[in-house]
Structure 1
């Protein structure tokens, strides 16, 4: 790993809920390795292609850039909703999870070796 390469956690945070009950929900499903600009490329693509379900009847769409990502603000008839596509560097104690090996499957999608086979906790 070079000095400019690091592990990044892309985060998507979006407004959910109606009217006064709006709140933010976030997800950070994967980690990526590379420079900050390389890490920002994925969230930028997602932000540009995003078509949020809220608000209904969107009237204005604003795509912005910040140093940590891309806010997408969509104005409706009354409320505005925002989705933030950002990246953050994991802090100490938060290493990237190890990738699980792929599951070998038959042509019909059924696993060759069932997940329960060999488990000692099933008695």
Structure 2
């Protein structure tokens, strides 16, 4: 059976220069494309995007292979794109569908790491002898009361 990724694309970060348009996988599921679109629609209807924090209006459109959520904020409008995508390969963890007890298919074994060409690594050099404790707390030299506290001339 086909595995579908449920994906949302939205703005992350704050400020005009620091905002980044980036994707996020909401989940994965097995089934038909229409079943995946139905699950994605249910998630899009309740999705809380990063921006705006308090939307005045939410409008959800069906668009191509997914959905478009348009949000009206106090100062600016934002949008999120929701799409389904067929999973072709994944180099990460094994896929376990919701409610299943084990993986659907095992991920291929990673290739063995090559031998170190330059021999063993040299031991690390320590500046302090092993077992020595710090001389005191980090704030040992800081006075309890600042010298300027209570001075009459600072008025």
TM-score by length of 1: 0.62
Residue ranges of structure 1 left out of the alignment (5+ in a row): 103-123
User: What is the 5 A alignment of 1:1-123?
Assistant: 1=1, 6-20=2-16, 21-28=18-25, 30-91=27-88, 93-94=89-90, 97-99=94-96
Residue ranges of structure 2 left out of the alignment (5+ in a row): 103-155
- Across the two proteins, how many residue pairs are aligned to each other? 97
RMSD of aligned alpha carbons: 2.7
Give the Cα–Cα distance (whole angstroms) in 2 for the partners of residues 90 and 52 of structure 1: 24
* Partner-residue secondary structure (3-state), 1:86: strand
TM-score by length of 2: 0.51
Q: Is the 8 A contact 1:19 1:79 kept in 2?
A: no
**Structure with a larger share of its residues in helix:** 1
Tell which has more relative contact order, 1 or 2 (C-alpha 8 A, sep 6+). Answer: 1
